[in-house]
C-alpha cells in the first residue's frame, strides 16, 4: 500500500477535528501565501476566498500582535451572527482555519484545535 501524501494526512487530521465537535462546520490549512494545503469545507464555501482572506487576516493579526503586543500571533478569530472563523498559526508557514456554528463551545474547540495544530505541524 502506498504511503499517504502530506495532503491526505492533513485531511485526516481535519476530519478528526470535525468529528470531535458537531459545532465545527469546516476547516482548512492554508499557506501564508494564501494557497490551500488541505481542506474540509462545506461545498458552498469557496476555498480560494477562504485561503485569500485567511492569508490577509493572518498578516493583519501578525502585525497587530507584533506592533501592539510585541510578540507573535498564535490565534485570532472573528465572530459573526452566523458563527466564528478561527485562525491558528501552524508553524511559520501555514494557518489552520476553522469555521464554527454561532453557538459553538469555544473553550472545547480551542482545546481540540491546539491538539490538531501540533499534529499538523509535525506533518508539515
Q: List beta partners, residue 86.
A: 77, 98
With cut-offs at 50, 70 and 90, classify the pLDDT of residue 3. low
- pLDDT tens string 31-79: 888 889 999 998 888 888 888 888 888 888 888 888 888 888 778 889 9
pTM, full prediction: 0.87
Mean pLDDT on 1-24: 86
Q: Is 111 helix (H, G, I), strand (E, B) or coil?
A: helix
Q: Where do the domains of the chain lie, and which CATH numbers do they carry?
A: 6-123 (3.30.450.30)
CA–CA separation, 92 and 89 (whole Å): 7
Tell me which residue of 95, 90, 92 sits closest to 121, measured CA to CA. Answer: 90
Amino acid at each position: 500500500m502506498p504511503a499517504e501524501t502530506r495532503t491526505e494526512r492533513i485531511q485526516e487530521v481535519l476530519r478528526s477535528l470535525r468529528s470531535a465537535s458537531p459545532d465545527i462546520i469546516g476547516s482548512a490549512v492554508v499557506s501564508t501565501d494564501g494557497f490551500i494545503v488541505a481542506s474540509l469545507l462545506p461545498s458552498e464555501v469557496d476555498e480560494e476566498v477562504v485561503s485569500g482572506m485567511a492569508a490577509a487576516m493572518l498578516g493583519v493579526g501578525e502585525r497587530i500582535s507584533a506592533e501592539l503586543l510585541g510578540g507573535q500571533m498564535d490565534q485570532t478569530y472573528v465572530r459573526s451572527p452566523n458563527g466564528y472563523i478561527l485562525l491558528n498559526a501552524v508553524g511559520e508557514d501555514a494557518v489552520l482555519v476553522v469555521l464554527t456554528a454561532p453557538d459553538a463551545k469555544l473553550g472545547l474547540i480551542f482545546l481540540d484545535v491546539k491538539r490538531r495544530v501540533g499534529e499538523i505541524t509535525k506533518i508539515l
